[in-house]
Structure 1
Amino acid sequence: MELKKPESYEELLELQKILNKHIPFLKTTLDVILALDDEFQEWLKELPQEYNFKNWKKKEYSREKELEELADILFFILQLANRLQGLNLFYRSAFKLWDNIKEKIDFSNEELRGSLIKNMKYSLYGTDDRDISSIMYDYVIICHSRKFTKKEIMDKYWEKWQKDMKRPSEDWNLKER
């Protein structure tokens, strides 16, 4: 595979496989889910003040920082998809859904916002494969509701992927590998 900016879900999976060969290994599927959840929590803290659960802490909103956290979530979703190879079909179809969503999803609606967040958490910690495979679907809906395009997410993933490929020699602890 030629290393280039990804344009498809399959190319994202391949890039993630390459990166996974160079990064600290998450031992279990639960480790990947916990890492994904950690990034999800970081995303929640980057939301604008009116949606941010951490409302006691004043913070200026940055769309770029929110985009970075959404890209970080994608890294772990792809890691999970590669680990659970039999479920890639479900992830792929959810990813393709992105281009076909026509309706506006109003993130300012408190009930809907709560449902999106709870659905992602449920999908992360669901007990069967269907719940795990719905993580990508939840992710796509969240990104769409926050008005991030697939292109923005993939471009940010590519940018961060290139930086992450340099990190093993710079700042990751690889002594246990």
Structure 2
Amino acid sequence: MEFKRPETFEDILKLQKHLDKNLNNIRPRCLKDIKMSLIAECVEFNEETLESHKTWKSKEYNKSMELEELTDIYFFYAQMINFNDDTVNNYVRIKHLIAVDFNNWQIKDYGSQVLPTLNLIANIVNDSVLYAIDNLMEIAQKLGYNKDDILNCYWEKWQKNMKRIGKEWN
């Protein structure tokens, strides 16, 4: 099967499904595991932003690491959407609405420049996946990223992750 850079959210979901299918999990993954991974990635992302919760620590800001950590959130978000699509009845409509939102990426004026990372975590915990995609897109836009930045970074990281299977990840 040949893979290419994703151009849509549906492409991300397909790539993520392939990655997840090839992982050697020591036990079956459940929604709780995915949510915990998402929350952990949100914290790792926060630590790479200028809004880091680590007010006691001086760290040089690295924009490319910030984007990579934000993209890692998209990996687990896609994993959650795929998991729900496989386990929740009539999830097709929700998946479609998420894809429409992402694919039609609208530039918005959010007013405040504060990142809604805690809102994202709350929406993940509460299964509010439609609000979560809005939070993800708001975070990206407030940091100056666009859909192509996310798609390009996702593709680069996906290729690295595929090479890690059976080596670092086993």
TM-score band, normalised by the shorter chain?
0.7 to 0.9
Residue matched to 1:90: 97
Q: Which amino acid aligns with 1:117?
A: T
Partner residue of 2:167? 170
Aligned partners of 1:71 and 1:153 also within 8 Å: yes
Once the two structures are TM-superposed, the CA of residue 124 in structure 1 deviates from its matched residue by: 1.2
State the structure with bigger RCO (CA 8 A, min sep 6), 1 or 2.
Answer: 2
Q: TM-score, normalised by structure 2?
A: 0.87
Question: What residue is the counterpart of 1:65 in the other structure?
Answer: 65
Structure 1 residue ranges without an equivalent (≥5): 108-112
CA contact (8 A) 1:123 1:134 kept: yes
Taking only aligned residues, the RMSD between alpha carbons, in angstroms, comes to: 1.8
Choose the corresponding residue for 2:138, options 115, 136, 141: 141
Number of residue pairs aligned between Structure 1 and Structure 2: 161
CA distance in 2, matches of 1:10, 1:82: 10
Please show how residues 82-121 of structure 1 align to structure 2 within 5 Å.
82-85=82-85, 86=91, 87-98=94-105, 100-103=106-109, 105-107=111-113, 113=114, 116-121=116-121
The whole-number CA distance in structure 2 between the counterparts of 1:105 and 1:171 is 42
Deviations 1:50-73 (A, max 9, x none): x22211011000000001101100
Q: Distance in 1 between matches of 2:150 and 2:109?
A: 19
Distance in 2 (CA, whole Å) between partners of 1:35 and 1:93 is 25
Matched, 1:152 2:149: yes
1:42 pairs with 2:44: yes
Q: What secondary structure sits across from 1:7 in the alignment?
A: coil
TM-score under structure 1 normalisation? Answer: 0.83
Q: Cα deviation per residue 1:75-114 (whole Å; 9 max; x = unaligned)?
A: 001001111121312321331342x22426542xxxxx26
Alignment gaps of 5+ in structure 2: 86-90
